[in-house]
Amino acid sequence: MSKVFLRALAQQDIDDAVNFYLQQQSLPAATDLIDELESTFQHLSRFPSTGSPRYAHELDLPGLRSWALARFPYLIFYVEQPEGLEVWRVLHQRANIPQWLQAQP
């Protein structure tokens, strides 16, 4: 199993999503989101090639893969690196994903 590294923007995306559910007075949803993210990161660290390369082709970002959460409307964007899985963003499926990903530093 590889290590999972979150870029600062990915961590901010997660914090924003959790805070959204907390602001909606839904502690169970916020907790469930965190649990699903953790289990998804574990899965992807074991099987990184299971994510879709769709956006890698669309945006000419070689190695980029995405994975949709099962119970929440978020996509995880990541790249497999020699030292582990690097998570770039965790974006809502209705976001302007190409615009957000092209802004990667």
Laid out side by side, the sheet with 74-81 consists of: 4-6, 84-92, 74-81, 64-68
Question: What's residue 94's pLDDT?
Answer: 87
pTM exceeds cut of 0.75: yes
Instruction: Please give the mean pLDDT across all residues of the chain.
Output: 91
Question: What's residue 105's pLDDT?
Answer: 52
Which residues neighbour 84 within 8 Å (Cβ) at sequence distance 6 or greater?
2, 3, 4, 5, 45
Question: What's residue 13's pLDDT?
Answer: 95
The answer to whether 37 and 29 are in contact (CB under 8 A) is no
Residue 57: pLDDT over 90: no
What domains, with CATH codes, occur in the chain?
Answer: 4-102 (3.30.2310.20)
Residue 100: pLDDT over 80: no
Residue 81: pLDDT over 90: yes
pLDDT band at 42; cut points 50, 70, 90: very high
Number of C-beta neighbours around residue 76 at 10 A: 24
- What are 94's two structure tokens? 């209705």
Name the residue among 94, 75, 103, 80 with its Cα closest to residue 13.
Answer: 75
